[in-house]
Structure 1
């Protein structure tokens, strides 16, 4: 949200931008981010659905704007004191909608009473769309994290990649979750959440029960077979190479991997060739097998 507000002010010249998310289980938005304000009057303000300009935008699920907030007859005036304390006159509010549900509101405002043109409104709508995409990605990330950690999914030393039946199905689900998390992580803007996703990926790929070579590290090379046991530290795939290999491991084509990762198919192919070379593999399957043996993939 902070980035969306900064972009909104930068592209429109609005004096102030602020916003907040709908509180879980409650029909109200809590203002949490302020940009350009000179007071704390709007901080933590709770805006109920239907009340004020933002509440109207939430109730109607569409952008709303007024030229002079305090005198407008098109809205209710529960929040006039806070708005006046910040000196705001012309105000717009755009709902942030994810999967048909309002998740928050972005506001932009001027300290003078003048019409807010179509260009300003369009920029506010675009900022809200960016926020919607970020929230959708975050929701997907948390959903995948929950699925990866649910009971029945192999998680830790007891995992058996060769298991049959129900455990084998769970193992395949774990591999699918790993690939989805790897593909999603680069799209997550929140650094803390992105770090958590990558940490879970490492945990899913870790294999405490697998044997490790006891001798000194051996450098990768074309003469090494995919069946040779080497550790992740010895192989050192780049994050993008591992992203591509994770997609390949669950049967995704180069074009499909590119779509998931936001890369061109040719770029995916280049990353895959590089990963295969490091793994000493001659085919996609050999590369996946070698990566799993090294603990790079579940």
Structure 2
């Protein structure tokens, strides 16, 4: 999983997957963004995804702290918008050749995606010509950013303490007892006990009649949910591809489905992710 001192491929992938939603929510002609990674001079933004741009010059652009609009957001950690990029004096103009000359961008905002106090990604929205980005668009962008932060936090955060196998086995046994008991009062009490153990087993404790997932199965499904392949999940979690496949087979079996896409859907419906 990612930490504060490592690059964030998960964040980059998530930005790429959600840019279409940002464009739909705001109605902006151009949106782009990427993840940040630590450097000796501070975190650096790597723009890896674009939608609605004129060319491809923004792709692979690296933005350091204090450079341009994105660099100022990296430093401040706050949403920032400028009505006219070319004439704004409060930012540097390192990227005018791309932003102004090639992309003809005028009004633009940059929104940080922050998890645990660290700017993990930055997303931009922009217009061309005399138009300006209004408050309503910024409000929708901010709401989108909040949702993206929550989604990324769920992917990046792992349980603080390891869950021992016998703990999961005990919860599974309680769930089986709840499912098979004929006494309604006993079933309700067992359900309460199982619910109280959710934090212990990574939020994946089942209730009577509801399937549960092991913490590693939840981690794997969270990464699958943001579009990662089995190989990318394996690299992210430090597992072999075959181990990832085994977790997916186990999760799909527990959830009563036949593929990973359906497993993600059912796990979300059940509140397991």
Fold similarity call, TM over 0.5: yes
- Tell me how far apart the structure 2 counterparts of residues 171 and 11 of structure 1 sit (CA, whole Å): 44
* Aligned length in residues: 197
How far is 1:199 from its partner?
5.7
Paired residue secondary structure (1:6): helix
Match of 1:41 in 2: 57
The structure-2 alpha-carbon separation of the partners of 1:171 and 1:205, relative to structure 1 and needing over 3 Å to count, comes to farther
The structure-2 alpha-carbon separation of the partners of 1:111 and 1:180, relative to structure 1 and needing over 3 Å to count, comes to same
The structure-2 alpha-carbon separation of the partners of 1:33 and 1:201, relative to structure 1 and needing over 3 Å to count, comes to closer
Paired residue secondary structure (2:46): strand
Bigger CA radius of gyration: 1
Moved more, 176-185 or 118-127: 176-185
Match of 2:183 in 1: none
Paired residue secondary structure (2:86): helix
Q: Find out whether 1:119 has 2:136 as its counterpart.
A: yes
Unaligned runs of 5+ in 2: 1-14, 170-200, 203-212, 258-266
How far is 1:128 from its partner?
2.2
Q: Find out whether 1:190 has 2:227 as its counterpart.
A: yes
Q: Find out whether 1:172 has 2:166 as its counterpart.
A: yes
Match of 2:255 in 1: 240
Match of 1:181 in 2: 216
- Tell me how far apart the structure 2 counterparts of residues 5 and 33 of structure 1 sit (CA, whole Å): 8
Unaligned runs of 5+ in 1: 149-168, 207-231, 243-259, 269-298
The structure-2 alpha-carbon separation of the partners of 1:80 and 1:202, relative to structure 1 and needing over 3 Å to count, comes to closer
Match of 1:10 in 2: 24
Paired residue secondary structure (2:119): strand
- Tell me how far apart the structure 2 counterparts of residues 205 and 88 of structure 1 sit (CA, whole Å): 44
- Tell me how far apart the structure 2 counterparts of residues 106 and 56 of structure 1 sit (CA, whole Å): 13
Higher strand share: 2
Is contact 1:4-1:127 (8 Å) kept?
A: no
The structure-2 alpha-carbon separation of the partners of 1:202 and 1:91, relative to structure 1 and needing over 3 Å to count, comes to closer
**Higher RCO by CA contacts (8 Å cutoff, separation 6 or greater):** 2
The structure-2 alpha-carbon separation of the partners of 1:35 and 1:72, relative to structure 1 and needing over 3 Å to count, comes to same
